[in-house]
A and B are shown apart, each in its own frame.
Chain A
Amino acid sequence: MKEHELNFDVRVFSIETIKRALYRFSDKCSFDIHLKDSDVTVKIHTSANDDLLAKIKNEVLDQDLRDTLVKETANVRTLILANAFSNTGLIQ
Chain B
Amino acid sequence: MSLLGKKFKLVDDFNQAKNLAYHLLPSRFASLDDGRYMLSNEVGEYLVVDRPKLEAFVRKQVGADTDFYHDLKSKHFLFDDDSNVAIDLLALKYRTKAQRIAQFTALHLFVVTLRCDYTCQYCQVSRQTDDKHAFDMSEDTANKALDLVFKSPSPAIKIEFQGGEPLLNYSLIQYVVTEAKRRNFEHQKDLQFVITTNLSLLNDDVLAFCQEHSIQLSTSLDGQEELHNSNRPRPGKNGYRLTVDGIKKAQNFLGRDKIGALMTTTEKSLSQVKSIIDTYLESNLDCIFLRPLSPYGFAVKNQQAHKYDIERWFEFYKEGLDYVLEINKQGHRFVELYTQLIVNKLLSPFSTGYVDLQSPSGAAISAIVYNYDGDVYASDEARMLAEMGDKKFRLGNVHADSYQDIWLSDTLLDTLETSLSESLPMCSDCGFLPYCGTDPVYHYATQGDVVGNKALSGFCSKNMKIFKHVIGLLEDDSEARQILLGWVR
Give residues in A with beta carbon < 8 Å to B.
20, 23-27, 62-63, 65-66, 68-70, 72-73, 76-77, 79-81, 83-86, 88
Closest to A25 in B: B455
CB distance from B380 to the nearest CB of A (A): 28
| 8 A-B contacts (beta carbon < 8 Å) | A25-B455, A65-B55, A69-B24, A80-B94, A83-B87, A84-B92, A84-B98, A85-B95
| Residues A77 and B26 in contact, CB atoms below 8 Å apart | yes
| Residues A77 and B58 in contact, CB atoms below 8 Å apart | no
| Residues A24 and B25 in contact, CB atoms below 8 Å apart | no
| Residues B91 and A69 in contact, CB atoms below 8 Å apart | no
**Contacts known (A23-B425, A83-B91); A76 close to B25, Cβ less than 8 A:** yes
Q: Which 9 A-B pairs have the closest CB atoms?
A: A83-B91, A84-B94, A27-B455, A77-B26, A84-B91, A73-B26, A26-B455, A84-B95, A66-B429
CB distance from A62 to the nearest CB of B (A): 7
CB distance from B217 to the nearest CB of A (A): 38
Interface size on B, as a range, is 20 to 34
Residues on A with beta carbons closer than 8 Å to the beta carbon of B29: 62, 65-66, 69
- Is B102 in the interface zone, CB < 8 Å from A? yes
Residues on A with beta carbons closer than 8 Å to the beta carbon of B55: 65
Closest to A86 in B: B91
Give residues in B with beta carbon < 8 Å to A.
23-29, 31, 42, 54-55, 58-59, 87-88, 90-92, 94-95, 98, 102, 425-426, 429, 453, 455-456
Residues on B with beta carbons closer than 8 Å to the beta carbon of A20: 429
CB distance from B365 to the nearest CB of A (A): 15
CB distance from B21 to the nearest CB of A (A): 12
| Residues A83 and B26 in contact, CB atoms below 8 Å apart | no
Residues on A with beta carbons closer than 8 Å to the beta carbon of B455: 23-27
Closest to B79 in A: A76
| Residues B87 and A24 in contact, CB atoms below 8 Å apart | no
| Residues A68 and B58 in contact, CB atoms below 8 Å apart | yes
CB distance from B34 to the nearest CB of A (A): 11
Q: Complex: how many Å from CA A54 to CA B59?
A: 23
